Structure 1
Amino acid sequence: MWFEGLNKNEDFLKREFNNRNFSILLYYLSTVCKEDDIFDKLISPFYHTELSDDYLKYLLSFPNGLKVTQESEAAEQILDGNVMIYINGLLISVGMKDFKSRAIMESTEENVLQGPKDGLSENINVSINLIRSRYKRESLRTESHSAGSKSKIKLMLIYDAQIADKPALHELKEKLSNIQVDLIQSAGQLQKNIIRSTFNIFPLFMTTERPDRVVKNLSEGKIVVLIEGSSWALIGPATFFDFFESMDDPVQMPLIGQFLVFIRYVALLITLVLPALYIAIISYSPDLLKIQFALLVAGSRMSVPFPSYVEIMFMLIMTEFLIEASIRLPKTVSSTATTVGGLILGQAATEAGLVAEVMIIVISAVAISNFVIPVNSMHQAIRVIRYPLIIMASLLGTIGVVIGLLALIAYLCNLRSLGRPYMKLL
């Protein structure tokens, strides 16, 4: 009996149709297929066809019409939204998928002041349409793949055949074919399974929901992976410096664009190094400060009963709590709750003498600087990596900060994205 596994589902339909000359059987999932199209394109023409061979030729004339010989393959076709038609001892698959997705919406995670506002869609075909409308070259290639032994999620590789990095493309295809997981539903999951490194912190692929960023990277010879059901694309090979470019930069005048990029690198240094430097200077090397500023800091910390590293760790963790709360809370209350919570926490902590006033300034600068980085996956990595620097500063002072930064640079230089150096400038 055909499709024994699917027969137990209420939405799996087996329908038989007869006309005067021949009969057919239709197998499909009513919740996945568009039944109006099934009637208009399959059932209605059946009753107007006299010969079974003519109807068979009609079915094979569909762009996605094909003969299926194995039951396992037929079941996969049905799960993918196709209708299986049994005729003349043959099984023919015809695509009738009814994919429910939102309309093309504005990109919400990568905001720009100028430039296009549309974002990629959960529907791969819609996303490819948005990309092709901006990148009109015959050399643009699309290749279909799948991932997930259970989900069989559809992936689409997109690249420019003339300028794409061929070794990187070969490595990516090999990594995709070696993925051994049951379920993949997002670009982040796919990236994690491609990298397969437990201790990697920094993103080795760019994730974006902006078609213009996809097109920009395609023009640079990079490879894009679209995932069915996700509005985020994966781009590789990526470099560390790619994550500090905003799609507003090419729109600005050259000097202004360069200034904005410079500001982002300054923000990176502040959010990464400032907490560790605060501990190193306050606890180990106060003589590095001017005497007036050193006395000011010492006076503000007179009532603080904790060492500087406990003080800064407490405030950083509270800041992490506020950031997570702003993400998880409903949008109607998240901004109010986190703003009020931050103000109350900072004021109460200073009035109670748990932290110094200077500490509030340091934490505020660190938090603001972190969100200047335009790509979310990178500023999440920076949030994590500053804690080892804080530990090094609390143990060894200024020397610990220097050692930590050198170790971080060596680690970044050792990273590879699809075989390409992560710290490559051009």
Structure 2
Amino acid sequence: MDFQALKHNSDFVKRDLENANLNVSLQYFKTLCDEKKLSRDLIAPFYSATMLADYDLYLKSLDQWSEEAREADAIPKLLAGAVAVSIGERVYTVNMSSFATRSVSQSTEENVQQGPSDSLSEKPDISLNMIRNHYRLSTLRVEELQLAVDSKTRSVLVYDEKLVDPQALQYLRTKLSALRNEVIQSAGQLQRLLTSRRGNPFPLFLATERTDRVVRNLFDGRIVLLIEGSSWSLIGPASFFDFFKSMDDIAQLSIVGEFLVGTRFLALLITLFLPGLYVAIISFSPDIINVQLALLIAGSRVSVALPPYLEILFMMLMVEFLIEASIRLPKTISSTATTVGGLILGETAVQAGLVSTVMIIVTSSVAISNFVIPVNAMHQAIRITRYPIIIMGALFGMLGIVVASIGLVSFLCGLRSLGTTPYMVLLKRPMK
């Protein structure tokens, strides 16, 4: 095998070794292989051998080796960090991969108050090491899959065979096997491909980089999906209520944890319905609120030129712009730029007569409440869902809010996680 298809790469190396009358050829990618390990495990033993048969037996004693009959079978292994060793007519591939990965570090995206703070790794093997150290049961099963034929992206399914739902597991296997022509590089991209219902902003998988959340969900009978190259894992099946729980809740006293969960659902109602209710009440039904409050709102809107629905949409869009700016800007200036920008925007908008002072309070309440939701994917979905409710409130008043609420609940009740689990069901640990 001469690997003509790979020789045009500048990092592809072919080394011919000679020892007396013994000849061996090594072919590999120097950017994918550990040169020190290659020298220690392949080159040094060759120069110590007196017969090719001895070196042949030595190669077969290594952990990850295989004899290749076709070049097409060997090329994917070379691209994964293996070395092709040619001994006469025989060709062996020996794994010598060396991929740059970070060491186990603290979770940066999911804040930890109490509990383990170590996060998963981009390498599934390292992540599995951490998971097995916390989940020491013989019923834990690890199943490796390849997500795409061309890119050879590794994925690993982790589950407890006694607690897992067999139908959900089979559904996930079927969906993953269908992703044969996709190049997958992140857990978020994989979640989008696995979400079959178009136009659905709500996440059907729980994404996390925390080891303790993974272990907790394994005890609850969930399936964990690890993706090579991403430190985030996907957990399914997931329900709507899972996205309002934090791992720190179970470290608190029972009443404290329940109170925190309750505040998150209250924040959900505020961020989802307050803008639409403001528009519906001001435009159609000001008589349903207290007279003093109605006069206060009317007084603050005396100099406002925009109608209520344009006023609320303007401020909501400005908040969206500030959120995106805080994410995209460098971290050294993002907080300062967005804070100053928000203050200047709010003050000048009131002075210019574009919005009222009450509108500033509503906008601030909505923005703060949105970030109380602990899982990023859910508060992104809520940000999107808020706008249809505002439009329904602007067009039909309180009736529009009621219709939008019924439509939202019906939509959520129709969702299924992993094709089997209703989205609005409170999942509990299975008793088996």
- Give the TM-score category using the shorter length: over 0.9
The match for 1:425 is 426
Q: Retained in 2: the 8 A contact 1:388–1:404?
A: yes
Structure 1: which 4+ aligned runs deviate by more than 3 Å?
A: none
Instruction: State the superposition RMSD in angstroms.
Output: 1.2
Q: The residue matched to 1:8 in structure 2 has which SS?
A: coil
Equivalent residue runs for 1:155-174 within 5 Å: 155-174=155-174
The match for 1:10 is 10
Aligned-residue offset at 1:108: 1.3
The match for 1:124 is 124
For the residues of structure 2 that align with 1:21 and 1:194, how far apart are their CA atoms?
57
The match for 2:402 is 402
The match for 1:285 is 285
- Which string of whole-angstrom CA distances, capped at 9 and with x for unpartnered residues, describes residues 301-348 of structure 1? 111111111000000000000000000000000000000100110111
Equivalent residue runs for 1:56-95 within 5 Å: 56-95=56-95
For the residues of structure 2 that align with 1:86 and 1:40, how far apart are their CA atoms?
18
Q: Retained in 2: the 8 A contact 1:52–1:88?
A: no
Give the paired residue count: 426
The match for 1:342 is 342
Q: The residue matched to 2:324 in structure 1 has which SS?
A: helix
Q: The residue matched to 1:6 in structure 2 has which SS?
A: coil
Q: Retained in 2: the 8 A contact 1:65–1:93?
A: yes
Equivalent residue runs for 1:4-403 within 5 Å: 4-403=4-403
For the residues of structure 2 that align with 1:59 and 1:73, how far apart are their CA atoms?
18
- Sequence identity (%): 54
For the residues of structure 2 that align with 1:21 and 1:165, how far apart are their CA atoms?
60
Amino acid at match of 1:216: R
Amino acid at match of 1:391: I
Aligned-residue offset at 1:389: 0.7
Q: Retained in 2: the 8 A contact 1:21–1:50?
A: no
Aligned-residue offset at 1:21: 4.7
Q: The residue matched to 1:247 in structure 2 has which SS?
A: coil
Q: The residue matched to 2:7 in structure 1 has which SS?
A: helix
For the residues of structure 1 that align with 2:288 and 2:62, how far apart are their CA atoms?
76
Gaps of 5+ in 2: 428-432
Aligned-residue offset at 1:55: 2.0
Aligned-residue offset at 1:119: 1.0
For the residues of structure 2 that align with 1:15 and 1:311, how far apart are their CA atoms?
71
Aligned-residue offset at 1:141: 1.5
Q: The residue matched to 1:224 in structure 2 has which SS?
A: strand
Aligned-residue offset at 1:148: 3.0
For the residues of structure 1 that align with 2:77 and 2:196, how far apart are their CA atoms?
30
The match for 2:430 is none
Amino acid at match of 2:41: K
Gaps of 5+ in 1: none
- Which string of whole-angstrom CA distances, capped at 9 and with x for unpartnered residues, describes residues 122-175 of structure 1? 122211111111111112111211123432211111111221121111111111
**TM-score, structure 2 length as denominator?**
0.96
For the residues of structure 2 that align with 1:54 and 1:408, how far apart are their CA atoms?
71
**TM-score, structure 1 length as denominator?**
0.98
Q: The residue matched to 2:339 in structure 1 has which SS?
A: helix
